[in-house]
Amino acid sequence: MPKLIRFFKPFRVLSQFTDTQGRATLADFIDVPGVYTAGRLDYDSEGLLLLTNDGALQTRIAHPKHKLEKVYAVQVEGTPAQTTLDRLVQGVTLRDGLSRAVSAKPATEPARLPPRDPPIPARHRESSSWVTVVLDTGKNRQVRRMLAAVGHPVLRLVRLRIGPWKLDGLAPGEWKEETVHLPR
Cβ neighbours, 10 Å, residue 92: 18
Q: Are 150 and 92 in contact (CB under 8 A)?
A: yes
Q: Which of 19, 31, 42, 136 is catalytic?
A: 42
Q: Are 71 and 164 in contact (CB under 8 A)?
A: no
Element (H, E) at 87: helix 82-90
Judge whether 42 counts as a catalytic residue.
yes
The Cα 144–Cα 3 span in angstroms is: 31
Q: What is the 3-state secondary structure (H, E, C) of 14-37?
A: CCCCCCCCCCCCHHHCCCCCCCEE
The four Cα atoms 171, 172, 175, 181 give a dihedral, to 10 degrees, of 80
Cβ neighbours, 10 Å, residue 98: 9
The Cα 107–Cα 36 span in angstroms is: 32
CA triple 11-3-45, angle to 5 deg: 15
Which positions are annotated as active-site residues? 42
